[in-house]
Structure 1
Amino acid sequence: MRSITHYAHGLNIKSELFFPEFPIKETSNVDVFIRFGKTNLSNSISSKNIREVYLSKFTKIKITSGNLIHLFWNDIGIFSINNNEIIINPKTGLNLNFLKFLLFGHAFAILLHLRGRLVLHANAINMDNNAIVISGVSGIGKSTISFTFHQKGYKLLCDDVLSINIGKKCQTVYPSFPRIKLWPDVIRNFEEDPGMIPKIHNKTSKRFYNVSGNFSDIEKQIKTIYFIKETGNIKIEEINPQKAMMELIKSSYCFKLLNESELSENLSQCSAIVNKVPVKILEVEKSYESLNKLVEIVEKDILKN
């Protein structure tokens, strides 16, 4: 099977599964391999030395010795993951779009965590050649707000799975994939037809919106991190370092997976961000009519810093 090399999250990814919407990179240097093959998932089930964690109602992982991680959906073994390889079980019976949905989300978040990245459940856009990070609980509107910025001409950096390089002098966001997950109502609000945009998978009405024409493919230094809170107001609130730490820890994508030493590393990474980057609360009113005003107050906040 012919493999294609893609570029995402600062990595050259050689994959047997083709992603037509993602950048192709001509290079002999490969950081990560994605292939179909035997995953030994059945062996991991009976192993005595495993740790089992549920990421959602239907998604769980089993961690074996050597930090090999197996991902299951609805008790079907899907992926085996280490720090440089994702092996796909070819006999899952899953729809290809749903398989890609699991791959771009949980599987990549786990791989990036194993490579030492701080992975946040967050989005980012490129504003004034810096990364503006938008985070918050699931369903709060991260993608809708990011798409509003995108419609204003700002380039998307990533959607949902955000990986950060913790440097001594600055913290940088790696660009992920040039697509964003949106509900049909959001797409209609921007006067586009959701019927023309492919579904994420056949179990949801949510769409993968391709932003390859307005995507930032170079890592950017973080300027500010905003945590969304729905309060009925539209304003920005400064928070103290302790609260900022708590927000970052809560948004850590792989927090449930961490062992004792990894918890310590996660705290150290979050602390490094708080020491270098402003972390703020972005209070929102959950309505489409308020989106333009929300963009304006963020623009003003960034300009004054």
Structure 2
Amino acid sequence: MLAFADLADFVIDNVGRQVICCNARAGVSLKTIRHLLIDQVLPLVVNLRGREALHATAVATRKGVCAFTGPAGSGKSTLAASFVLSGYPLVCDDCLALSDGAPIRTLPGYPGLRLWNDSVRALGASSRKLKAVAHYTTKSRLTDSRRGDFCSTSRRLARIYLLQRTRAGKRAARVLIEELAPMEALMGLIKAAYRFDTTDTAMLKRQFHFLAGVAEQVRVKRLVVPDDFSALADVRQAVLRDLSGRPAR
């Protein structure tokens, strides 16, 4: 069972085929239940069903899918939204499901990005495309009905960026993309992986081998970005140059 204090509980069977919401607290809206299900529960169910997913947000480019992962608040969704508003289809927000094999491929999530109010203002997103996420957060879900804004098919995963903001007081720093040693890349993926039961040794072994394969097939890099919304365009250009194999400026 997955319990969300003062909100609701979810009971999941042993193989992840049935999910039941129960014990919803008084005043908890259907919108909040939906958010808990699709953004918190289902990523863990993916793992329970024998597949792997990363806590990452991703967009599709002509060179393949690029994914952004990093700690909460590092700007994954904001950066992805800046790509989407510039014409690059969204693949997922926060849960990147991956298929096994060669090449590694991404599976689509749903058309929506969760953003804080300051990100919405900085991006200039239309209020008509915003919906409340849940009653306990001020985040909004950025959605768009245009077909081209969402990638609904499986695509090759081209790059994974471990997102890192520059320290306070260094906002003038430029965008930096760094190669990672194989072990550092693997550890970054392990930190980003979803796990339903951290005591399940068979699952942990399966996941380790899968992520090792991802690190071998997909280039994983560190993406250091200024802690400044005005730098989003520069970050996009740096990522696109990197995907194209062009040297950084």
TM-score after normalising by structure 2 = 0.88
Q: CA deviation at 1:75?
A: 6.0
Provide the alpha-carbon RMSD of the alignment: 1.9
Structure of higher RCO (CA pairs closer than 8 Å, 6+ residues apart): 2
- Which one of 99, 110, 121 corresponds to residue 44 of structure 2? 110
- In structure 2, the residue matched to 1:153 is 87
Which residue of structure 2 aligns with residue 225 of structure 1? 160
1:164 to 89, 98, 115: 98
The alpha-carbon distance between structure 1 residues 304 and 196, as it changes in their structure 2 partners (threshold 3 A), is: closer
The counterpart of 2:17, out of the listed 84, 88, 99, is 84
- Counterpart of 1:125 in structure 2 is 59
Sort the Cα spacing of 1:131 and 1:192 in 2 relative to 1 into closer, same or farther, 3 A.
closer
Q: Which has the larger radius of gyration?
A: 1
- What amino acid is the match of 2:87? G
Task: Supply the AA of the counterpart residue of 1:79.
Answer: F
Aligned residues: 235
Q: Is the 8 A contact 1:184 1:205 kept in 2?
A: yes
Structure 1 runs of 4+ aligned residues shifted over 6 Å read: none
Tell whether the 8 Å contact from 1:81 to 1:107 is kept in structure 2 after alignment.
no
Find the aligned partners of 1:211 and 1:135 in 2 and give their Cα distance. Answer: 23
Aligned-pair distance for 1:258?
A: 4.6
Aligned CA distance change for structure 1 residues 194 and 205 (closer, same or farther; 3 Å): farther
The aligned amino acid for 2:82 is T
Worse-superposed segment, 142-151 or 197-206: 197-206
CA displacement 1:268-297 (0-9 Å, x = unmatched): 011010111100000110111100000001
Q: Alignment partner of 2:152: what SS?
A: coil
The answer to whether the Cα contact below 8 Å between 1:236 and 1:282 also exists between their aligned partners in 2 is: yes
Is the contact between residue 52 and residue 98 of structure 2 (CA under 8 Å) also seen in structure 1? yes
- Whether the 8 Å CA contact 2:57–2:77 is kept in 1: the answer is yes
Tell me the secondary structure at the aligned position of residue 107 of structure 1.
Answer: helix
Residues 225 and 277 of structure 1 are in contact (CA less than 8 Å); yes or no, is this contact kept in structure 2? yes
Partner SS, residue 229 of structure 1: strand
Structure 1 contact 123–146 (Cα < 8 Å) conserved = yes
Q: Does 1:96 align with 2:37?
A: no
Q: In structure 2, what is the equivalent of residue 286 of structure 1? A: 227
> 8 Å contact 1:180–1:211 — kept in the other structure?
no
- Contact kept, 8 Å, 2:70 with 2:162, in 1: the verdict is yes
C-alpha distance 182-75 of structure 1, shift in aligned 2 (>3 A): closer
How many angstroms apart in 2 are the aligned matches of 1:99 and 1:185? Answer: 25
Q: Call closer, same or farther: CA 1:176–1:95 in 2, change over 3 Å.
A: same
Per-residue deviation at 1:217? 0.2
Q: Secondary structure at the match of 1:123?
A: strand
For the residue of structure 1 that corresponds to 2:184, the secondary structure is helix
Shift of the 262–292 alpha-carbon distance from structure 1 to 2, 3 Å rule, reads: same
Q: What SS does structure 2 have at the residue aligned with 1:203?
A: coil
Q: Which amino acid aligns with 1:135?
A: T
Q: Deviations over 1:19-57 (max 9, x none)?
A: xxxxxxxxxxxxxxxxxxxxxxxxxxxxxxxxxxxxxxx
What is the CA–CA distance in structure 1 between the aligned matches of 2:48 and 2:129, rounded to whole Å?
37
Contact 2:8 2:33 in 1 (8 A): no
The residue type equivalent to 1:185 in the other structure is D
- Larger strand fraction of residues: 1
Residue 230 of structure 2 corresponds to residue 296 of structure 1: no
- Structure 1, gaps ≥5 residues long: 1-69
Tell me the distance in 2 between the aligned counterparts of 1:247 and 1:112: 20
Pairwise CA distance, 1:229:
1.0
Match of 2:169 in 1: none
How far off is 1:255 after superposition? 6.9
CA deviation map 1:196-253 (0-9, x unaligned): 7221112111001113421000011100110101124411000011000100001112
The answer to whether the 8 A contact 1:197-1:208 is kept is: yes
Distance in 2 separating the partners of 1:217 and 1:247: 27
For the residue of structure 1 that corresponds to 2:35, the secondary structure is helix
Q: 2:44–2:196: 8 Å Cα contact kept in structure 1?
A: no
Aligned 8 A contact 2:63 2:158 in 1: no
Counterpart selection for 2:137 from 189, 197, 204:
204
The runs of 5 or more residues in structure 2 that have no matched partner are 167-172
1:149 and 1:195 map into 2 onto residues whose CA distance is 19
Distance 2:174 2:133 in 1: 32
